[in-house]
Structures are given as structure tokens and as C-alpha cells.
């Protein structure tokens, strides 16, 4: 408790007014100046910063070049894939027309023609048989 009273009493005391010492401030020699005062030091710093900037620009340009090259290759591959799909559809169309023509030329019955065209028998379960009686 006594310790707390001593602490509070230290804060209650009025602070001593200080004189303005900013007028007395004497900066050290070379204060506020660049430390590399020699021309060789400045040139080497500038060359170093220019080399860093050049390296950064070079890396960024390589990245842009790599990205554009990859995009071009992807677009060319997409075009080839589309052409292959179109060729496949065209080949399947020609193949089915040739099957139909061969089956027609052989003159076989309808079930065998259907079999040769589609590789399976027709689905007769979905068909309905209709009988129509004509008046005599």
C-alpha cells in the first residue's frame, strides 16, 4: 500500500518546466546527407538499381511471352480437336450411307437390312399392332 502511495505521489508532483532546447540542437557532421558521397558510390548504386529494373522487366517479358505461346498452342490444339470431331461425324455419316446402300443392293429382307445398318434387331416391344377390318 505504501508503494502505491509513493507511485501516485510521484505522478501528482508538478513537472519541472524545461527550456526550449531545440534552438541548441547541433546536427552531427553529414546529418541529412547521403552516406555515399563519393561519385563512384552513387554511380554504382544507380547502376545496381538499373540492373535490378532491367532484370525485373526481362523476367516479366519472359512470363508474358511464355503465357502467349501457351495460349496459342492451346488454341491450335482446340482447332485440331474440333476438326477431328467434324471429320469423325462426316466419316460416320458416310459409313451409315454405305451400309444402307450395300443392304439395299443385296435386296435382303427388312430385318437383315436393319441389322446391317444398326448392328441390332429392331425394338418390336414399342410397336403396336393395329388390325383394321374393312367392311365387305
Please, what are the averages of pLDDT over each run of 10 residues along the chain (136 residues)?
Answer: 68 57 64 61 85 96 97 96 95 84 64 64 65 78
Q: What is the pTM of this model?
A: 0.41
* pLDDT value of residue 7: 64
| Residues 95 and 117 sit within 8 Å (Cβ to Cβ) | no
Q: Can you give the residue ranges of every domain in the chain?
A: 44-104, 106-135
* pLDDT value of residue 100: 76
* pLDDT value of residue 108: 54
* pLDDT value of residue 61: 97
Taking alpha carbons only, the member of 123, 118, 122 closest to residue 92 is 118
Amino acid at each position: 500500500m505504501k508503494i502505491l502511495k509513493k507511485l501516485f505521489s510521484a505522478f501528482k508532483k508538478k513537472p519541472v518546466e524545461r527550456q526550449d532546447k531545440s534552438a541548441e540542437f547541433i546536427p552531427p557532421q553529414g546529418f541529412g546527407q547521403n552516406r555515399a558521397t563519393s561519385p563512384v558510390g552513387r554511380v554504382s548504386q544507380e547502376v545496381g538499381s538499373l540492373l535490378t529494373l532491367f532484370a525485373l522487366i526481362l523476367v516479366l517479358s519472359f512470363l508474358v511471352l511464355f503465357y502467349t505461346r501457351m495460349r496459342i498452342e492451346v488454341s491450335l490444339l482446340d482447332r485440331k480437336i474440333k476438326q477431328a470431331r467434324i471429320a469423325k461425324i462426316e466419316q460416320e455419316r458416310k459409313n451409315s450411307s454405305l451400309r444402307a446402300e450395300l443392304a439395299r443392293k443385296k435386296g435382303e429382307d427388312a430385318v437383315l437390312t436393319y441389322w446391317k445398318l444398326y448392328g441390332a434387331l429392331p425394338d418390336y416391344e414399342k410397336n403396336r399392332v393395329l388390325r383394321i377390318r374393312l367392311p365387305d
